[in-house]
Amino acid sequence: MENSHSAVSGKHNPKSDAVHGAKKESLSPLKRDKTEEYLKFQEIWNNAKKYPSVHDLTRTFDTKWKSIRAQETKFREYQREHPDMELPVLVVRKMKSGRLFAIPEKLLKRLDFFRLDSKELKDAKGIVVTSGQFKAALNPNVWKSLEQYCKYRKFILIVLPILQYGKVKEDDEFIFPEEFKGHVAFDDILLQSGTLNLSTMGMLPTLSKFLTEKICQMGGTTSQIIPAPKFELKHRPSIGGNNHPRAIMTTGSVTQPNYAVDQLGQTRRVCEIATKRHAYGAIVVEFDGKKKFHFRQLMSEDKETFYDIDTIHGGARLFTPFGNEHKKNGVGAYIPGDWHCRKTDPVVRLGTFEGKDSIVSMLQPSDIVLHDYFDAESINHHDDNDAIHLAYKALVGWNDLERELRESSDGLKWMQKRTDATIHVIAANHNGAVKRWLLEKRWVNDPVNYKIGLRLSLAMIEDLEKRKPKNHEASSMDPVAWYLRENVPGIKTYERRDILFLPTSLDGQEKKQILVSMHGDEGILGGKAGGLNSFLKMGGVNLIIGHGHSGEIDGPIMRVGTSTYLVEHYMNTPATSWSHSGIVIFENGQRQMINFVGGKWHG
Query: Residue 234: helix, strand or coil by DSSP?
Result: strand
Provide mean pLDDT across the span 226-236: 96
The pLDDT of residue 265 is 55
Mean pLDDT over all residues of the chain? Answer: 87
Q: What residue type is assigned to position 167 of the chain?
A: K
Q: Tell me if the bond preceding 447 is cis, omega within 30° of 0.
A: no
Neighbours of 599 (CB within 10 A): 13
Q: Are residues 151 and 225 in the same domain?
A: yes
258 or 550: which carries more pLDDT confidence?
550
**How far is Cα 349 from Cα 370, in angstroms, rounded to an integer?**
12
Out of 251, 269, 304, pick the residue that ends a domain: 304
pLDDT reading at 452 higher than 70: yes
Distance CA 575, CA 565 (A): 11
Please measure the distance between the N-terminal and C-terminal CA atoms of the chain and give it in whole angstroms: 49
Task: Give the pLDDT of residue 6.
Answer: 35
Last residue of a domain, one of 96, 131, 146: 96
pLDDT of residue 5: 34
Residues 49 and 89 in one domain: yes
Residue type, 411: G
Let me know whether 30 and 91 are in one domain: yes
Tell whether the model's pLDDT for residue 585 goes beyond 70. Answer: yes
In this prediction, residue 363 carries a pLDDT of 97
345 plus 268 within the same structural domain? no
One domain, residues 89 and 169 = no
pLDDT (tens digit per residue) in 131-181: 999 889 999 999 999 999 999 999 999 999 997 655 666 667 788 999 999
Out of 43-47, 437-441, 562-566, least confident range: 43-47
Whether residue 223 is contained in a domain is answered as: yes
* 119 and 165 assigned to the same domain: yes
Split at pLDDT 50, 70, 90, the class of 72 is: confident
Let me know whether 365 and 291 are in one domain: no
Please indicate, yes or no, if residue 101 is contained in any of the structural domains.
Answer: no
CA angle 518, 300, 581 (to 5 degrees): 45
**Which pLDDT score, from 0 to 100, does residue 11 have?**
44
Question: Do 451 and 384 share a structural domain?
Answer: yes
| pTM (two decimals) | 0.85
Task: Give the model's confidence band at 350: pLDDT under 50 very low, under 70 low, under 90 confident, else very high.
Answer: very high
Are 297 and 332 in contact by the 8 Å Cβ rule? The answer is no
Looking up residue 460, the CATH number of its domain turns out to be 3.60.21
User: Torsions phi, psi of 589, nearest 5?
Assistant: 95, -5
Give 240's DSSP letter: S
Is the distance from CB of 229 to CB of 131 less than 8 angstroms?
A: yes
What does the pLDDT read at residue 395?
Answer: 95
Model confidence at 12, pLDDT cuts 50, 70, 90, reads very low
Of all helices (H) and strands (E), which one includes residue 53?
A: none
Q: Are residues 431 and 547 in the same domain?
A: yes
188 pLDDT more than 80: yes
Give the C-alpha separation, 347 to 578, whole Å: 15
For the sheet containing 306-309, what is the strand order? Answer: 306-309, 316-320, 323-327
Q: Does residue 204 have a pLDDT over 90?
A: no
When pLDDT is averaged across residues 98-122 and rounded to a whole number, the result is: 74
Distance in angstroms (rounded) separating the CA atoms of residues 116 and 154: 16
560 located within any domain: yes
Average pLDDT (321-339) is 97
Tell me if 106 is assigned to some domain.
Answer: no
> Other CB atoms closer than 10 Å to residue 304's CB: what's the count?
16
Domain match, 77 and 134 both = no
Q: Is the pLDDT of residue 279 over 80?
A: yes
Q: Is the pLDDT of residue 19 over 70?
A: no
Q: Which of 32, 65, 96 is the last residue of a domain?
A: 96
589 within domain boundaries? yes
Task: State how beta strands 367-370 and 422-425 pair.
Answer: parallel
pLDDT, residue 23, reads 53
Q: Please classify residue 574 by burial: count the beta carbons closer than 10 Å to its beta carbon, then call 0-12 exposed, 13-18 middle and 19+ buried.
A: exposed
pLDDT at 456 over 50: yes
Contact 158, 116 (CB under 8 A): yes
Q: How far apart are CA 424 and CA 245, in angstroms?
A: 28
Assess whether 70 and 158 both reside in one domain: no
Q: Burial-class residue 196 by CB neighbours within 10 Å (0-12, 13-18, 19+).
A: buried
CB 452 within 8 A of CB 402: yes
Q: Does residue 389 lie in a domain region?
A: yes
Distance of CA 250 to the CA centre of its chain: 7
Quick one: pLDDT at residue 472? Answer: 85
Domain-embedded: residue 102: no
- Confidence band for 512, pLDDT divided at 50, 70 and 90: confident
Q: Which of 190-194, 286-290, 578-582 has the highest mean pLDDT?
A: 578-582
For residue 601, being part of any structural domain is answered with no
pLDDT 10s digits, 366-418: 999 999 999 999 999 888 889 999 999 999 999 999 999 999 999 999 999 99
Could you tell me if 35 and 65 lie in one domain? Answer: yes
Q: What is the full DSSP assignment across 160-194?
A: EEE--SSPPPTT-S-SS-GGGTTTB--S-EEETTT
Nearest to 253 by CA among 127, 134, 103: 134
Q: Residue 8: its pLDDT value, please?
A: 37
Q: How many domains does the chain have?
A: 3
What tens digit of pLDDT does each residue of 237-276 get? 987 655 689 999 999 999 999 886 555 555 577 888 888 8
Task: Give the structural domain span for 494.
Answer: 331-595
User: d(Cα 62, Cα 57) in Å, to the nearest integer?
Assistant: 8
Q: What's the whole-number mean pLDDT along residues 359-365?
A: 97
Tell me what the mean pLDDT of segment 564-568 comes to.
91
Q: How far apart are CA 416 and CA 491, in angstroms?
A: 9
